[in-house]
Chain A
Amino acid sequence: DVKVTQSSRYLVKRTGEKVFLECVQDMDHENMFWYRQDPGLGLRLIYFSYDVKMKEKGDIPEGYSVSREKKERFSLILESASTNQTSMYLCASSGNGLIQPQHFGDGTRLSIL
């Protein structure tokens, strides 16, 4: 079974801090994704990576950056956290071949005070 692990389930940070969210997958998947989930808005794509060191902006990249130095690890960085970035963050991965299902981690609930 594919396992996608997010380093923290709950995280509390202060406004202005630099925040790192880590995600690791164990299935050698090429594609990795970061989403944020907010009530009534569903999942919105922040960033997507299709290979090591490769990334694409998603629908809401402002205020975020990502890093993918190794195939199994995809990090989301909040450069200067703000209260409107309080949310549930979900990481996902998918394998080679077209239209593969995405496999999700259990999420990190981030609160910015």
Chain B
Amino acid sequence: AQSVAQPEDQVNVAEGNPLTVKCTYSVSGNPYLFWYVQYPNRGLQFLLKYITGDNLVKGSYGFEAEFNKSQTSFHLKKPSALVSDSALYFCAVSRSYNTDKLIFGTGTRLQVFP
């Protein structure tokens, strides 16, 4: 069965420093992977997705994610964190190649300190 794990409940980083939010997955077949962000009192917003091709995927707000097949990881990264990046981040994997149904991780809260 497909699954996704976010091993850190919270990540703290100083403004201006690089940030990484970790995600690992377990799928049969090719993985289709997503990152979403949730700001307080809002729904989730799509950041980026990996379907195939280049292992480095660029998304919204300066975020990018690196797909690593050998380590079954899809970590979210940003070179220079902003206080406004503080939010809840969710990694998700598609349940199969022919459906839009996703399995979400438990979320990682990113706190960026001034």
Contacts and interface: CB of A to CB of B under 8 A. Distances in A.
Given A43-B90, A100-B100, A90 B51 contact: no
B100 A41 contact: no
Interface string A34-47: 01000011111100
B28 interface: no
Contacts of A92: 43-44
Nearest to A2: B46
Contacts of A45: 101-102
B107 A42 contact: yes
Interface in B95-114: 97-98, 100-102, 104-107
Interface residues of B, number: 23
Contacts of A100: 100
B94 A101 contact: no
B90 A102 contact: no
A94 B32 CA distance: 15
Contacts of B63: none
A90 B36 CA distance: 14
A106 B42 contact: yes
A105 B43 contact: yes
A69 to B, nearest CB: 21
Interface in A30-80: 31, 33, 35, 40-45, 48, 58
A9 B40 CA distance: 13
A99 B102 CA distance: 9
Nearest to B51: A99
A102 B102 contact: yes
B106 A98 contact: no
10 closest A-B pairs (Cβ-Cβ)?
A104-B43, A101-B46, A43-B104, A42-B106, A42-B104, A104-B44, A94-B100, A106-B43, A99-B32, A31-B100
Given A43-B104, A107-B43, 4 more contacts: A42-B105, A45-B102, A99-B51, A99-B100
5 contacts: A43-B104, A48-B101, A98-B97, A98-B100, A104-B44
